[in-house]
Amino acid sequence: MDIRYRIQGGNILRGDVTISGSKNAALPMLAASILCAGETVLHNVPDLRDIRTMLTILEFLGAETSFHDGTVRIRAHNVQSKPIPSNLVSKLRGSIVLLGPLLARFGVVEMAYPGGCVLGKRPVSAHILALEQMGAQNMSTDAVLHLQGKLKPGRVILPEFSVTATENALMAAALLPGETRIDIAAAEPHVQELHMMLEDMGASVEGLGSHTLTIRGTETLKCVTRRVPSDYLEVGAFTIAALVTKGKVRMHDVEYEHLLSFLDAITRLGGVWTYDENEKILFVDGEISSLHSMNVQTNIFPGFPTDLQAPMGVALTQSQGVSRIFECLFEGRMAYLYELEKMGAHIEILNSHQALIIGATPLHGRTVASNDIRAGAAMVLAGLCAEGETIVTDVQYIERGYDQFDEKLRKLGAKIERIEMVPGS
């Protein structure tokens, strides 16, 4: 089904919004639940398509799950490792984080290749290499990922700072008695959250927030209750929304340490904000902000998040001067700029990784597409500050990553309507 947003631009956003739990943290936390044979309880879980898909996969493997009012319960007593078909994993690249826990617990894992957003080449080689270094045999074919063997602790050197490969290696090592060291590990907030969850489950993990992790695993992990941290990417989207509509938005449940590079960039952009550390409230005052050009370069954490590059691109269209975006991680992340050009943005695409944005230019409502989760959110932000009506298509992408995005925007004063298109209409 094609779901669309119809947006009437030009409305100033004002008010309070509570940030939802992080999908990127919740998915590996759900996967970690199968490392133990009891009940895992997760609070503050966002109600998203990707979360529902992961729960369906866990149920296919034999888990009993429930999801009510932000709380997920997973009972993994009867989980088995069996081939996971394409129809379950083809729309969720995040399902790749099941490799490590299934292999560590059962000695075998088999699944069709996971899908999800197309952001250039995102191979699974880092995952396979990590698990091979722990003793796995790679039996994969062109159609199926298949690893088997008894894992052993040791040293894992990742070929890149891959978030999900780090998570797979972490979860596998947690169930192995002995010491495993992971070098070139990713350090994103959701990796750190998994690190802390595994410690609660009984593993010893050193190196929180660094690129070298040392894990002392155990044969038996206990099930735990954890709260999913808030989504710093959603914070970024609402921050840009406040700036481009010249609004005043107060965001609750914000982790400042997750946003160091982003908020520094917002300051350099000319955005005005304050943070209450005790209350974890971020207040963005777009009314008194004066946006000007800047350079943005994405990087691994704690650098500027690639997932906030597209929303920042929208802000740069409303900033005075010539700005440069340098996307270091994914070659497919610049496609949204063509959609912004349709709306009147002045953009020069230099190559698949770099572009110039010349501002400030008024945007005009058009029909634009969601190329992926984050690009889709960026198109919504563009629609909020554009003159006239904007139609954002393929909203199902956005709803894989943002919990009640349209509803939250409406409560802040946006004129946004969700439309489910009937085939043939």
DSSP structure class, residue 120: S
d(CA 166, CA 31): 13
Query: What pLDDT sits at residue 303?
Result: 94
Q: Which distant-in-sequence residues (6+ apart) come within 8 Å of 269 by Cβ?
A: 243, 291, 292, 294, 315, 316, 319
What b/e string do you get for 143-177 counting C-beta neighbours within 10 Å, with b at 16 or more?
eebebebebebeebebeebbbbbbbbbbbbbbbbe
Q: Report residue 186 as tokens.
A: 């990713």
Q: Which distant-in-sequence residues (6+ apart) come within 8 Å of 359 by Cβ?
A: 291, 293, 316, 317, 318, 319, 320, 321, 323, 345, 346
User: What parts of the chain have a pLDDT lower than 70?
Assistant: 1, 116-123, 423-425
Residue 199 burial (C-beta neighbours within 10 Å; 0-12, 13-18, 19+): middle
Active site residues: 117
d(CA 160, CA 121): 14
Report the candidate in 283, 290, 278, 353 with the shortest Cα–Cα distance to residue 321: 290
| Strand spans (E) along 200-269 | 204-206, 212-217, 225-227, 248-252
Report the candidate in 418, 405, 413, 244 with the shortest Cα–Cα distance to residue 318: 244
Cβ(317)–Cβ(345) below 8 Å: yes
Cβ(2)–Cβ(394) below 8 Å: yes
Q: What domains can be seen in the chain, in order of their start residue?
A: 2-20+230-421 (3.65.10.10), 23-227 (3.65.10.10)
d(CA 134, CA 147): 11
Radius of gyration over alpha carbons of the chain, in Å? Answer: 21
Query: What pLDDT sits at residue 242?
Result: 98
Report the candidate in 207, 252, 225 with the shortest Cα–Cα distance to residue 408: 252
SS3 21: strand
Query: What pLDDT sits at residue 397?
Result: 86
Query: What pLDDT sits at residue 425?
Result: 54
What b/e string do you get for 311-323 counting C-beta neighbours within 10 Å, with b at 16 or more?
bbbbbbbbbeeeb
Residue 114 burial (C-beta neighbours within 10 Å; 0-12, 13-18, 19+): buried
**Which one-letter amino acid corresponds to residue 46?**
P
The side-by-side arrangement of strands in the sheet containing 64-68 is 64-68, 71-75, 39-43, 225-227
Between strands 39-43 and 225-227, the pairing is parallel
Read off the pTM.
Answer: 0.93
Query: What pLDDT sits at residue 143?
Result: 83
